[in-house]
Chains A and B, each alone.
Chain A
């Protein structure tokens, strides 16, 4: 990678200086500056105070609730998203375009609306909840509710990352595998899965990261019982309501750090894979 423009090539967009400068300016304004603010606020605390806040037993309980629910939600979306992407790319059926559009609904719908609706549907009197109650399964105002809300809001990530890869990946690879004597299962695990694995992994990791920070949809359905169904973003909100900005920033910094580490891991893996396959064609 070169950092400067080569001298004798003309580009469509004018001015490397202007375009990079304005991009960096806005990145600073909307991303770097708020993060700095977070760090500055956290810096009011000593290390001991910082550690005490982020290792408070109730907060640690919220980490566990959030991480476990996010893990289950993203695992579910791994399979569901793969299935949806497969159906949308490999089959032509009436209503396909509608279904394709519906996949983006969780992005477009206000998360509070999603949370309210899900809470109503899964409450013990709700459409689904009343039948689940027969088996003693409680979703609304329980840990499972958090999983449901997180699953709903992060559906598009896996679908939308896997879909383009599957579309690019023509049927001739499956056909080649079949002519070489492979069974459909062998073709899936040895040919298709390795090809979509990076996208699948990226999508799942993105869904996980998104779920870690999900607030709007979750608080309506979670019930928010201390120690049991409090998510980390709620803890941040609670500290804010107590006007304890430093503590809120401290907890937020933990979420931020985990998300950043995950993002860098995803990027690193993608680059490694592109090196092998020569990048997307």
Chain B
């Protein structure tokens, strides 16, 4: 089932939550709506589900206009951040709920319901919990049950609102991979909302980056990460260092370091901002011709990674660097030492930055 969103807007009082958004989602795709809190991603998801009504614009499922359709008739599966499992029902009853509330004519008989529920519980690998109550399960298990419950009604579209947001880091990482595999198995068109860029990069076929109610960029994880459309996307997808740069004839200059930036190839010199990720910087103990002189201010070793904070010699700018611990050990640098750094790669945006 494809979803198409046309010029959808939604305000809450003076606050514009969703601002004239257009988006088309292909059948079978797993799409992430990624953005900071208040970016309108959850509101957009709720509008797709019918839990919220758009002020203007249309929503189509498979070219059929469903803008005015009630949430209970849209055939969407919705998974909530805090599971929203019915506490007074067993796991079995929770998963069966969507089937038991069907009108008599469409309702499968008891044996069919039982068979279907057990199949779904097997799919989420929790068949043994059928007779338990949600309070007896862990957070990760509850969210898998919530997913099984949403899938029981064979939704045309599966919508997940920060599905792993309430779980601890280890369970979250496990569930993300599990969701990815599950989607490869069942191929239902899915949209999930997250503010965690790592989660979006790992799980999604496609990432839609949102900010202030509008879409900033829309593409595959590689496209969005490697070719961010604008400074916002670049900053949102991981840590970043920002340098003032001069751009001329396909080359940008940061201090005395020259870097190729072929996308800005016209002749006049312009001011710009160069974004460099912390792991895209090399560190040297001796000066090179194309390098910035810095002072090592702070070192923290986080597992296999050494995170350095250095101050540039010219304007005392704080620069973050990440490199493998082994490599850092070989440099034999200590706090307060002088070093030289060289960005391997940078992304330059013209103008005064953000």
Contact = CB atoms under 8 A, between A and B. Distances in A.
B168 to A, nearest CB: 17
Nearest to B135: A278
A175 B97 contact: no
Nearest to A172: B84
A181 B72 contact: yes
Interface string A143-179: 0000000000000000000000000001011011111
B76 interface: yes
Interface residues of B, number: 29
Contacts of B70: 178
Contacts of B150: 179-180
B86 interface: yes
A178 B74 CA distance: 10
Contacts of A175: 51, 71, 78, 80, 84
Given A172-B82, A195-B88, A277-B87, A181 B135 contact: no
Contact of A178 (B72, B75, B89, B133): B72
A190 interface: yes
B98 interface: yes
Contacts of A57: none
A6 interface: no
Contacts of A279: 135
A67 to B, nearest CB: 31
* Majority secondary structure of chain A interface residues (helix, strand, loop or mixed): helix
A172 B79 CA distance: 10
A180 B82 contact: no
A181 B101 contact: yes
B42 to A, nearest CB: 12
A277 B89 CA distance: 9
A271 interface: no
B87 A179 contact: no
Contacts of A277: 87-88, 133, 135
Nearest to A276: B133
Interface in B278-315: none
Given A172-B84, A276-B133, A179 B101 contact: no
Contacts of A172: 80, 82, 84
A46 interface: no
A177 B77 CA distance: 10
A176 B51 CA distance: 10
Interface string A242-281: 0000000000000000000000000000000100111100
A181 B73 CA distance: 6
A180 B133 contact: no
A183 B72 contact: yes
A191 B86 contact: yes
Given A186-B101, A277-B135, A278-B136, A179 B86 contact: no
Interface in B185-210: none
Contact of B101 (A180, A195, A273, A276): A180
A206 B183 CA distance: 51
A194 interface: yes
B153 A181 contact: yes
A75 interface: no
Interface in B52-82: 70-78, 80, 82
Nearest to B159: A179
A39 interface: no
B84 A173 contact: yes
B10 interface: no
Interface in B128-153: 133, 135-136, 149-150, 152-153
Interface string B72-114: 1111111010101011110000000110011000000000000
Nearest to A195: B88
Interface of B: 49, 51, 70-78, 80, 82, 84, 86-89, 97-98, 101-102, 133, 135-136, 149-150, 152-153
17 contacts: A179-B51, A179-B72, A179-B76, A179-B77, A179-B78, A180-B101, A180-B149, A180-B152, A181-B102, A190-B101, A194-B88, A195-B88, A276-B88, A276-B133, A276-B135, A278-B87, A279-B135
Give the 8 A-B residue pairs with the shortest CB-CB distance, closest first. A278-B135, A180-B98, A179-B78, A182-B101, A176-B84, A172-B84, A277-B87, A194-B88
Given A175-B80, A276-B88, A277-B88, 15 more contacts: A172-B84, A173-B84, A178-B70, A178-B72, A179-B49, A179-B71, A180-B98, A180-B153, A181-B72, A181-B98, A182-B101, A190-B97, A194-B86, A276-B135, A277-B135
Interface of A: 170, 172-173, 175-183, 186, 190-191, 194-195, 273, 276-279
